[in-house]
A and B are shown apart, each in its own frame.
Chain A
Amino acid sequence: MSRLLIALLLAATALYQPALHAQSAQASLKAALLYRFVQYSEWSVNPPVQQIYCIAGDAEVFKALTTMLPEQAQTVLLENAEQATKCTVLFLSLELASQTGWSPLLQSSGRLTVVEGAELFRQGAMFGLIAEPQRISFRVNLTLARQNGFHLSAQMLKLAKEIH
């Protein structure tokens, strides 16, 4: 009986353990994708001296990105749209899609914009993360990226699910 209880306890622990990490693992993945998008993008006009990564709507992504980035990069967790004036890289989470005030931030040229979901992507972002059942993929608005003075690497474009 005690063996059975131990086995059940172990099984329950095994089931519970991965779940503890699921959310942070996904945030780490999004942060890593954001980091790679920046690496594969070139500011053809006025490249920033220092990258300022601004994250809105997802503190987990902010935390993961802060740990991941080298010291010379700066990360900011935005609480409102007015704080975004100096951002060179902007990430908007899906929950901001229905909130007013955030989408005008996507119109700024010289800023690399990454959003979650089709709703925000349609509002004028350069990169859109696509949540799939077992993966995260991405779409790129190449026309907009070029208009905003970015050159995107061919290697990255080959991996995009959609090129707009």
Chain B
Amino acid sequence: MHIRYTVLIKSLLLCVISMQLQAQQVPSLEELLQQPTSTDPRLIEVSTSARHAQSAGESSQVTYIVTDEQIRRFSLRNLEQILSFFPGLYVSSDSSYGYLTARGIGRPGDYNARILLLVDGTRVNDNIYDAGMIGNNFYIDPQLIDRVEYSPGSGSALYGNNAFLGVVNVITKRGNKLQGAQLAVAANQHDQLDLSLSYGLRHASGHEGWLSLSRSQQDDIAVADINAPAILTSQRTLNEDLNHKLAASYRYRRLQLQMAGVSRTRQEPMLLAEDPSRSDIFKIKNRNYFISLQHGHRLTEQTELYTHLSTNGFHLTTFTPFIFPTGEVRRYHFDVTGKWTNLDLRLSYTPDPSHHLLFGIDGQHDQHQSYRFSIDDDIPLLGASSDNNRIGLYLQHGWQLSDKHKFISGFRYDYTKQDVREFSPKLGWVWQINDKQSARLSYGTAFRAPNEYEQKTNLYNELPVPESELIRTLEANWQAQLANSWSVGASLYHSRVRNLITGNFGESAIVQFFNDRSVEALGLETTTAKDWQTGAKLQLSLSIQRARYNTDQIELTNSPERLFKTQFSQPLWQENIHLNWHMFAASARTSPSWQMPGYARHDLLLSWQPSSQLSIVLGLKNVFDKTYVDAPLPSAAILRQPGRSTELSLNWNFR
């Protein structure tokens, strides 16, 4: 009965919405800005694919978006969970780090080096492993994120190194959404507790800022390795993860100063190599930070200059226990430190409405890249230190040939002190078939130079440094706005990868990196979305991807051929209460030792927003407790992925 009344009320609301408003009936500006809309995806503004804000339909590459609304309703607790919503991205975890497979390519233990990770445009992949941290140790808490943009495909023509399989840009909230104090608490039944306190303000003159402090702790973490010996599984109480974060942002007009830092301590029991019947604690301490200053300045009516300076730091220490010849347990300390500074200058020139030129220079100075290996920090074993300079020049031209056709061309040249020289061209064509449909064709190349870790490992073992890996991608995309507010999109791509840098972990006593056989990836990404006026929303994506070695047609490890994702939100008896369903299905993946079966997992969450100040989400993740495994590590250990978990999250804004 309740449902019938709801349908009736919604029908009446529909009539009201469709009626033309009279001036005296116009809602307040605040109410208008909260009104849900069903926007054609081609008109949505994005900034990642073209490195400046523009309508999504203007770019030759597709950009997918996860909004703050989705983050809240689906209780997404870290970037790893957010990224798992994107078409074509497959995320697995070793319970300590998150690993991404994009468009069928994800090498074991690469720490996401082939995806460029940005925070408000600031590059945050480190300068040792090129790692992009996406777990609880990512800089920005979910409640501070306005949206995450993911532009798949070869992005090196604009971004250079690391934009190999795609670019992820995490865009933080602005003063319109972060005003007053905000408390966010989230807990699950697996002893994970996340606490975050933030404060934001905006002055009418344009000054705005926010400060956030947070703490995330998980105790008693289940041992992921399904073959772990009983001595380890019985000690899961020693398996802990603790993160502290500080983030702040200040903006005035087009000036932004931002900083973020994260400190992580992770510990877990491990067997001692010298006596596998004994175990001790393995510990990781990780501290990362960045400070960034960016400014946009209009030089003339046609010209704008963007300046972006950032400095980053990365420090990682691992403590690995072993039995010293005297019989006592001591620890190998492995210290890794990276410090680097980026300067990005971009000149945007629009001589007339049909032409747009973007010229830029990116410089990176790696002032510190060092390793130190010692026993308990007092017996040095080995150490190495180096520096590097990288520079990239790029030019992009967008030419609106007619109302229906636009051409995009560009290139980038990258040079490093270590004699990496890469030329990355790009060509694109956008065809506006009619006001409801568009088609795009793009061709681009991208590269990833061997990172500091890969270089130094080979040099230490007196082996040649591998060459840069290269990818060429040809992609066709079609998007349409159908009747009944359905929007659909499909991307067909073909990529050829050469020199894929691979480690021979476990195959030999000496770890070395080499350029593997060439790989061919062919795939189709389809998306469908619909927003009902009643407030219900549906998003579906199906990705079919096939990544194989060219020579023997053997499929890559960690590469599911099919991914299917569904997100559905349905308002219940009140418009501020939603039932949210997320389904994620993946086909079988191979590892060097065996084939891991496909699976489907479901998350079901109830979100309630009694006022604009308060939001409560209660949910069950992995509702049916589906057991599934992955092997994202170089050791190819079979790791159990998260089981069923009850979660409660609360966001309270004290305005």
Contacts and interface: CB of A to CB of B under 8 A. Distances in A.
Contacts of B202: 157-158
A162 B174 contact: yes
A70 B23 contact: yes
Interface string B524-568: 000000011110010000000000000000000000000000000
A91 B39 CA distance: 19
B176 interface: yes
Interface stretch (B53-61, B263-271, B586-594): B53-61
Given A123-B301, A134-B67, A159 B30 contact: yes
22 contacts: A18-B485, A21-B14, A21-B533, A28-B20, A29-B32, A29-B37, A35-B23, A35-B26, A36-B26, A64-B20, A100-B352, A100-B353, A123-B301, A123-B353, A131-B44, A132-B45, A132-B67, A134-B39, A135-B37, A136-B39, A158-B202, A159-B33
Contacts of A67: 20-22
A30 B400 CA distance: 26
Interface in B14-32: 14, 17-18, 20-23, 26-30, 32
Interface of A: 15-22, 24-26, 28-29, 31-33, 35-36, 40, 63-64, 67-70, 94, 97-100, 102-103, 107, 116-119, 122-124, 130-138, 142-143, 154-164
Nearest to B207: A163
Contact of B176 (A131, A136, A160): A160
Contacts of B533: 17-18, 21-22, 25
A21 B17 contact: yes
A57 to B, nearest CB: 12
Contact of B35 (A117, A133, A135, A154): A135
B12 interface: no
Nearest to B435: A95
Nearest to A116: B43
Contacts, number: 167
A142 B208 CA distance: 14
Contacts of B21: 28, 31-32, 64, 67-68
A136 B532 CA distance: 17
A103 B353 contact: yes
B20 A132 contact: no
Contacts of B382: none
A139 to B, nearest CB: 9
Contact of A142 (B37, B54, B253, B403): B253
A135 B33 CA distance: 7
A157 B67 contact: no
Instruction: Please classify how large the interface on chain B is, using the bins under 10, 10 to 19, 20 to 34, 35 or more.
Output: 35 or more
Nearest to A70: B23
A70 B24 CA distance: 9
Given A98-B400, A103-B353, A135 B45 contact: no
Contacts of B176: 137, 158-161
Nearest to B252: A163
B386 interface: no
B20 A69 contact: no
A35 B537 CA distance: 29
Interface in B50-78: 52-55, 58, 65, 67, 69
Contact of A19 (B58, B348, B400, B484): B484
Contacts of A163: 206, 208, 253
B20 A158 contact: no
Interface string B455-489: 00000000000000000000000000001110000
Contact of A119 (B30, B35, B58): B58
A104 to B, nearest CB: 10
A136 B44 CA distance: 9
B14 A17 contact: yes
A33 B32 contact: yes
B531 A134 contact: yes
B41 to A, nearest CB: 8
B3 to A, nearest CB: 13
A155 B208 CA distance: 14
Given A36-B29, A132-B44, A158-B202, A123 B350 contact: yes
B350 A137 contact: no
- The listed residue with most A CB atoms (<10 A of its CB), out of B29, B33, B55, is B29
B38 interface: yes
B254 A40 contact: no
B121 interface: no
Given A36-B26, A98-B400, A119-B54, A18 B532 contact: yes
A119 B17 CA distance: 30
Contacts of B28: 36
Nearest to A35: B26
B230 interface: no
Contacts of B43: 94, 116-117, 131
Contact of A97 (B69, B206, B353): B353
A123 B532 CA distance: 35
A113 B206 CA distance: 19
B33 A137 contact: yes
A52 to B, nearest CB: 16
B175 interface: yes
B44 A118 contact: no
A40 B69 CA distance: 28
Contact of B534 (A18, A29, A117): A18
B644 to A, nearest CB: 30
Given A25-B17, A119-B55, A133-B147, 14 more contacts: A18-B14, A18-B532, A18-B533, A36-B26, A67-B22, A68-B23, A94-B55, A132-B67, A135-B37, A143-B253, A157-B204, A158-B176, A159-B29, A164-B296
A130 B34 CA distance: 13
Nearest to B400: A98
Q: Top 6 A-B pairs ranked by shortest CB distance?
A: A18-B533, A154-B204, A118-B53, A67-B20, A21-B18, A19-B484
A162 B120 CA distance: 14
A154 B179 CA distance: 14
A107 B298 CA distance: 14
A62 to B, nearest CB: 12
A135 B30 CA distance: 12
A40 B350 CA distance: 31
Contacts of B253: 142-143, 163-164
Interface in B255-297: 296
A63 B352 CA distance: 30
B202 to A, nearest CB: 6
